[in-house]
Structure formats: structure tokens, C-alpha cells
Chain A
Amino acid sequence: MEDRVVPWQIGNIAYSTHAKVLYPPEMARVINRAKRPLIVVGSGLTEKLELNLFDYVIELSKTRNLPVVASGNTYKEFIARNFKPVAILGILELINLIKDQNWRGFDGKGQYDVLILLGIFPLLANQALFAAKHFASIITISIDQHYEPNATFSFSNSTVEEWKENLNELCANLKK
């Protein structure tokens, strides 16, 4: 179990605050309580097409009508699945907006309160979460396969099979 809550990448340590590991039902509760949640996805989705993560994100989005930001090279794949993300935007550009409390969001209705990340190139996700941790008032949730120390909440390190189970359980626990 100890290995499950250490940063996956060697050396990615020495933080004073670490992400809390949550099981899918607890994570779902955080998202269910959120007023303005937002999903951001990255190139990991196109690299792991065999895992059908695009379909998963669409399903996740539909549970609570969660807006999705397409980062990396993901937008085209969503469109091919008749799903329209709310924006095409780089992850750090997104965090730059999120750290501004006066930003009104993509729909003009106000700043977001929970950011869910999936499939961003790990090193970049780490830096984005670092920036969010220090400079933004937002809860960040990593639902990637490996523990992400700079998020507010993260899954633990897991096998692909365990991870897929976690993802499905998370989706199942979200309010429709």
C-alpha cells in the first residue's frame, strides 16, 4: 500500500503538502458537491485509444453536464464522437485563467471550483497542479492511473485494470 501513495515518477518528491488519496465514491462526493466543476483532458487520451478514455470522458461529462476542456490534441477525437468540448486550450493557459478569481469562465457564469484532470502529459500535469496549488483557489482532482502529489485529491498508483475499475466506479457514483 505504501507504494500506492508515493509519486509515481522517481524524484518527484519533497513537497510540504501532498494530495489526499480518495477512493472513487469519496471522489464522487467531492464532485457531486461542486458547484462549478470542470474537466480538462490531454494527449494521454489519444495515446491510449485502446482504453476508450474518450468515451469514458463523454460519459463522465454527461452525468452532471460537466464541461470539458480539450487540451493537447484531443479535440478532433471528441468531435468524431459527436461531443463538443467547451474549449481548446493548453493546460497552463487554463490554469492561468483559473488562478484569476475575476475570470468568468467559458460560459461567463463565474470561476470554477473543482478541476478534474485526466491524460495530461505527466510532467506537465504535475507543473500545472503545482501552479494551481499555490496560486489558485480551486480543488484539483487527478483521476489518472498514478498518484499525483500536487493535486488536492488523487487516485493511488494502480494497475491498468484497477484504474479502469476506479474510473467506472467514479462515474457510477456521480449524480445523474
Chain B
Amino acid sequence: MKNSIMKNYDKSTTSDLLIKGEGLEVYIGEIAEETWKEEKIGPTPEPNVTALREWDFKLLKRYPPFYSPVCDLCCLCTTGKCDLSKGRKGACGIDIKTQQARVSLLTSCMGTSAHAGHARHLLEHLIEKYGPTHPIDLGLNIEVEAPLIRLVLGIRPKKLIDLRKPVDYVEKQLIHLMSATNIGQEKSHLDFESKALHAGMLDLIALEVADIAQIVSLKMPKADPEAPLVDFGLGTVDTSKPVVLCIGHNVLPAASVAEYLEKTGLNDRVEICGVCCTAQDIARINPKAKVIGSLARQLYAVKSGIADVIIVDEQCVRTDTMEEAQKIKSVVIATNDKICMGLPNRTDDDPDKTVEELVNGVIPGALILDPEVVGEVAVKAALRLSDQRAQFKKLIKKEELIELAKKCTECQMCNRACPNNLPVYEGMRLAKEGYLEKLAEIYELCIGCGRCEVECKTKLPIISMLSKAGEKSFKDEKYKLRCGRGPIQDVEIRNVGRPIVFGEIPGVIAFAGCPNYPKSGKELVEIAEEFLKRRYIIVATGCSAMSLAMHKDEEGKTIYEKYPGNFDAGGIVNLGSCVTNSHAAGAAVKIASIFARRPLRANYEVISDYILNRIGAVGIVWGIMAQKAFAITTGLNRLGIPIIFGPYGSRFRRLFLGRKDLPENWEIYDYRTKEKMLGEPAPEHLSCVVETKEEAIVMAARLCIRPNDTAIGRKIKLSHYIDLSKKYLGETPSDLDLYVRSENDIPITIKEEVLQFLSAKGWKPRKIPLDPTILDPAKLHPSLLRPE
């Protein structure tokens, strides 16, 4: 009954429910939140575009936007193109700086829209399938089920339907933000950035909705530190069986395949595997599913020909998937309104008829918008296609590769097309002589964009040639990934809250982002392991979490097999797909709320201020390609969490760089004494770009320093910072004097050496704020800091 009612839910309405029956229409207004009486509503429930502007401006004063455009021009209206170089203004009066900020907002909105669309689609389907009153139960150890929703909207969702309100809110706000990017609207680069920060905050809300909805409905692990280790890598797929490959981010179609296999007892006869975040999420549902890898492996996986059926859902799906699938006679099923691929809509057709059309080549693929139908069609088609496609499941032969290489005209366009400047042409030259080692090396480093193939004048199948050259790695790609566990338990937060806030656990380092690394993903493992050995907490999500699994030590173990999966010193936590980035942010919010007992409900500024000044958390986004990653990082920035990007981060045009050489920029209040004093550049940047892993490691140690560190905590953090700086950059950090507040902060084992350094710098001890804040104490009501 509930399902039939929900089928009639008019999705065009927002916060109100509209129930339609025969001859009946009933509106039910928004139901007031009566149940949360323990905590008073804070100052900013459902903040509108300008509600947190003051907070944003505080951040932007400390961390002014730094712009590196990717173009001199603005091409967004018909009067242009306008040249904005050399101080010129466009036809609308915009200058280059404001234009960059405008694009920053656009980018943030694009990313947030992708996640909000994902959340809406997932939520409505799950409400329809499991009912609006399906409980939000994240397990025994989680009471603060939705820290971000509580923080921003001031509500506690208890049932699936309660998640509609956050999505409604995100959608409404997005319209206002996007409208500001139209010609003639916002004028100030700082206001554009404030709006971009707002979009980032919304993004994290959308992510939280999506992951909570899928965890509670699809039986994913509930904050389980011992979530199963799953097979990972292209080499784990049994290509002798029919193969269904799922690509994208929305797990519903893949879940439908898993469900159909279970229902029909075909689990052992058909391989289900995935690329990108759908893969992470299907493994959370069905640990037998094979996770092929990150976005960087998408083109390789498709071109390898192993897939009989390719299911695409949404986000991060290559635009040429259909074209590539046709080359290897795979069929494609598009499953989401965001990606229809021009395919005929077979949603309401008889599944068997659709299978027939696909197998006989009547249609190259189908659009099937009902996930429940996708499973049946995909499995039936894969079973029929597998044998007839056997010839396409093989790599090219070595002799073929050499013959192809001989066609190379050595024009070097492949090198020039490669974003990472990989020496493809040099590899081809050697391959002509039968030496494939160089191409094998390139396979390891390749980010799988395929631009080399596009530019190749002789149309060589470079990706397939690289796969053959890297055959050993290709076939040996068999690893173990700890599948996504979802959120952090409240009890884990209680255990680590104190040592994190006092600095005794030196930091929490979160790996997120896309796999377009400047070098191999192995660097990610090296960075993570350096910090794991030093008892930092490592958190990973999305493609980064997958890349971390792609390397084994001498004993053949991946990082997930070597280190525990709990949120504690020396643990590595794979939260799951991109949507679980919300739990990384949520963990920081929970520390403020559960450990420090800061009122959480609609109390955004106070909680963010707490995180900025006390929680030594930093994100490393070593690759970044999708606008979604920009939205996520911008959302983390608004919460006071700094981000370190790899080189590709510079291409999103905007950073938030602090200036440690300007002491006046680091003024801070002590809430206890209400005194304003000179602080320290901690954290120095809110977002920055580094070129190498060595710089990233040292920067991460530095950005974990916080004004609230106790002397013991600061000693620990500085001892790592100094040691890592010496190890990776070759010298004691030149800014050490800025982070030593008193002699008590100096690590004992190197005290003499540090004192000498400080003496040369003319260092003097300075006051330490007991209760550091960048909010004006005069405006802070005590009830915002302590529960009444």
C-alpha cells in the first residue's frame, strides 16, 4: 500500500507531500520536528546564501583566494569572447579575478548538482522500494546518524522520508547559487567565493543523504571496521564467465544485477564487476563482486573486451563508452536520466524482447530507467553474448603489437597529448625493435585518458598496445581492498576525540579525489604508509581508496591487509565511494559534538571554528578531475579542513593560500579571557597545490598543527614535522619558529638543536590562547558553546 502511494508521489513538489489516489489529492504540510527536545535549535537552521557570509569572509580574510586562470578569455555570453588580460574588462564589466571566482562558483555548483541529483534519484527509488518509514538505523554504535544534516538543517532524520527535506533544501539553494553566475549578477570575487563555499557545504549534505539512504536500505556495512576484504583489480575477473561491467557512481542498477543473480542462483555463473565508485558500492553490498579499479582503469577495462554487458549509471562515465563498446561488440545499458546516450528507451518493454534485440544487434544498447529491470536484462544478455564474444576478450598478440608499432611515424603527438608527458613515442620506438619494457612502464603510470589515441595520426590502438605490454601487471592486478565501511562510530570518536584535539594523535589525513595523479598511484601508498607508521589516522574514499589498494609490499600484502580498519591511530579507514566523503567531514563534526559537547544543531560557525582551531585534519587530493571533487573540497574548506592538491588541483583555478609572513593575518581570540592576540599560521593554507609527494608529506604534517594543541601534542606534531622535513626536503623547516609557542613545545630529543635554530631566528615565547577562536567572543552567546 505504501509503495503504491509513493509511486504517486509528485516529485515536483518540494517540502510538502502530495498524495494522489483515485479522485483524491491530499497535501500534508511539513511535519514539525517535535522529537528533538534535548537540544535547542542553533542560530543558522537551513542557512540561505548569505547566512554564513560573515564566517566565509573571516576565512577569506585569512586565506585570500589565489587565482591561476586556464584562459585569458571569458566565453560565457554572446558579446564576447572578451579578452580579460592585462587588466582589461569584459563587455559586462567583469575582470579576470572576478571571472575566476565566478567559474569557481560554477564548478562548485556543477559538482554539487551531480551529487544532489544522485542523492535525489537514489532516495526516491529507495523510498519507493523500502517505504517512507524505513528506519535510519546505522547500527548500535551510532547515535549521531547524520552530523552534517543536524549541523546545517537542525533536524534529526529518523526515517528514509526525513531525508527528503535536506535534498529539497540543497536543490532550492542551488538554484539561487547558479542564478548568481548569470551575466550582470554578483560583482565581488569574495562574494562569489562565499557562494562557492555555500555550494560546497550543500554538496556534503547531498553526499550524506545518499550514503545514509543506501546503507540503511541496501544492507551495506554499518560503520564496521572489519568490513570484508574484497577482490580488487582487473586480474581478478574470471573472463571465462559471462561478465557484467558496471561503471559510474549510482549503485542501484548494479545492486539490481546482484539481486537478480542471487534470486536466480546464477551467482557463480556470472561475473559482476565495476569501475569507479559504483564498484566500491557494489562490493559493499556483495563482497563477491570484483572491483576493477578507479576511473583511470575505465578505458582499459572497456577496451580489454572482457565485458559482455556494460551498465552505465551516472557521473564519471566516459562519453565514448558506446563507441568503444561497439568496437568490442559489447552491449551498453544506460540506466539514468543524466546519461541516456541517445539509446532507445526500453524501460517498459518486455525484458526478454529487449534481450533479444541486444543480442541480435538490432539495437547497440538500451536505456532502462527502472533499476529493477536492468538486472534481468543485463544478466540474460551477458549469458547469451559471452560465447559469441570470446574473440574480443583477448589481448592483442606480441607480434601484432610490434607490427602496429612499426606503423608509428614518430610524430610525437602522443607525447604532446599526454597530460602527464609520458614518453609514449619513445616506447613505440623501442617496441618496433621488440622491446616492450618502456610501454610496460607507461602502462603503470598511465591515467587512462586516451588522448594519445585521439591524436595518433596512424590511429594506433595505443591503450590496447599498452595493455599488452603491461600484460604481466594487467594479469597480476589482483589485490585486496577493504570494502567501504561507511561512517565512523560514535564510540570511536569518544576514544580518539581527546588525543586528536590535544594533538597526541598527530593528525587525521583523508585521501580523496580522482586518479589523475602526476605519477603512479603508488605515491599515494607511500604517503599513506609514512603517516600510518607514525600513528596518524588515515581515511580514504572513492578512487583514492582504490588506488591505495593497488600496490603490495614484499610479502604480497596491500595496505588494507597490513593495517587495521578502525578510526584510531595507525588505522586505515576506507569509508567507501565518493558519497562517503560526507563521513570524513562528519567525523570532524562529531568530534566537536560528541567529545567536546559543542551544541551541534544548526550551529555551523561554532562547529567549523572548533574544527579549524582544534582538529588536526587535512585532506590530500592527489588527483582531481571531476567538478564534484572541487565541490567536496570546497565544502571541507568551509568546515575549516585544509586540502592539499596534487598539480592537477591548480587547473581548477582557485586556491585559498595563507601568508605566514604576515603576522597580522593570524590574529586570534582567547574565548576565556576575551583577549585578541597574535596567533600562528595554523593551518597555514585552506587549500594549496604541491608538485611532489615529498612536498605533500611535509605540508600534511604542517597543516595538522592547530592552535589548540597542548604542549605534549605540539611536541609530537613538531617532532614529525621536523623529521619529515629533514627526511624528504633535506632541512629543518624554516618556519619552525612560528610553531614553537614556548620551550615546552620543543621535542625533547632534539631540544638543543631546535633552541639553536630558534636563537638564530630571534625567537621569543608567546602567549597561548586557552580557548582559541576566530569568532568574536563578544558576539558568542555561551549557549552556543555549551549545552544549556
Contact = CB atoms under 8 A, between A and B. Distances in A.
Interface of A: 8-10, 14-17, 42-43, 71-73, 75-76, 79, 87-88, 90-93, 95-97, 100, 103, 120-124, 127-128, 130-131, 133-135
Nearest to B653: A127
Interface string B679-708: 000000000111111110001000000000
A92 B72 contact: no
Given A93-B688, A134-B85, A121 B67 contact: no
B417 interface: yes
Given A10-B416, A75-B729, A92-B650, A130 B692 contact: no
B691 A9 contact: no
Interface stretch (B287-295, B569-577, B627-635, B654-662): B654-662
A1 to B, nearest CB: 16
21 contacts: A9-B417, A10-B451, A42-B691, A43-B691, A71-B691, A71-B695, A73-B694, A76-B729, A88-B731, A92-B66, A92-B689, A95-B66, A95-B68, A96-B659, A124-B650, A127-B70, A128-B68, A130-B69, A131-B69, A133-B85, A134-B67
* Interface majority SS (helix, strand, loop, mixed), chain B: mixed
A96 B66 contact: yes
A73 B731 CA distance: 12
Nearest to A119: B691
A6 B729 CA distance: 35
Contacts of A135: 67, 97
Contacts of B416: 8-10
B491 to A, nearest CB: 39
* Closest A-B pairs by Cβ, 5 of them: A76-B730, A127-B650, A131-B68, A127-B68, A73-B694
A15 B85 CA distance: 9
Nearest to A75: B730
Nearest to B418: A9
B563 interface: no
A108 B26 CA distance: 73
B728 interface: yes
A123 B71 contact: no
B131 interface: no
A58 to B, nearest CB: 15
Contact of A14 (B71, B688, B695, B730): B71
Contacts of B421: 9, 122
B585 to A, nearest CB: 25
A72 B695 contact: yes
Interface of B: 66-73, 83-86, 96-97, 413, 416-417, 419, 421, 451, 455, 518, 647-648, 650-651, 655, 657, 659, 661, 688-695, 699, 728-731, 734
A122 B96 CA distance: 23
Given A121-B647, A123-B419, A92 B655 contact: yes
B76 to A, nearest CB: 14
Contacts of B72: 14-17, 134
A73 B696 CA distance: 10
Nearest to B698: A88
A61 B734 CA distance: 22
B685 to A, nearest CB: 8
Contacts of B693: 73
A10 B651 contact: no
Contacts of B68: 92, 95, 127-128, 130-131
A3 B366 CA distance: 45
B648 A123 contact: yes
A14 B73 contact: yes
Contact of B695 (A9, A90, A96): A90
Contacts of B690: 90
B175 to A, nearest CB: 31
B69 A123 contact: no
A127 to B, nearest CB: 4
A57 to B, nearest CB: 16
Nearest to B655: A92
B729 A88 contact: yes
A16 B688 CA distance: 27
Contacts of B695: 71-73, 90
Given A92-B66, A134-B67, A134-B85, A121 B731 contact: no
A92 B729 CA distance: 17
Contact of B86 (A17, A42, A122): A17
B96 A93 contact: no
Contact of A131 (B67, B661, B691): B67
B96 A123 contact: no
A81 to B, nearest CB: 12
Contacts of A120: 691
Given A93-B657, A124-B650, A134-B67, A16 B73 contact: yes
A73 B728 contact: yes
B548 to A, nearest CB: 21
Contacts of B647: 121, 123-124
Given A130-B68, A130-B70, A134-B85, A124 B731 contact: no
Contacts of B419: 9, 123
B734 A87 contact: yes
B518 A92 contact: no
Nearest to A123: B647
Contacts of A91: 691
Contact of B731 (A43, A71, A75): A75
A124 B691 contact: yes
B86 A123 contact: no
B345 to A, nearest CB: 35
Contacts of A16: 72-73, 83, 85
A128 to B, nearest CB: 7
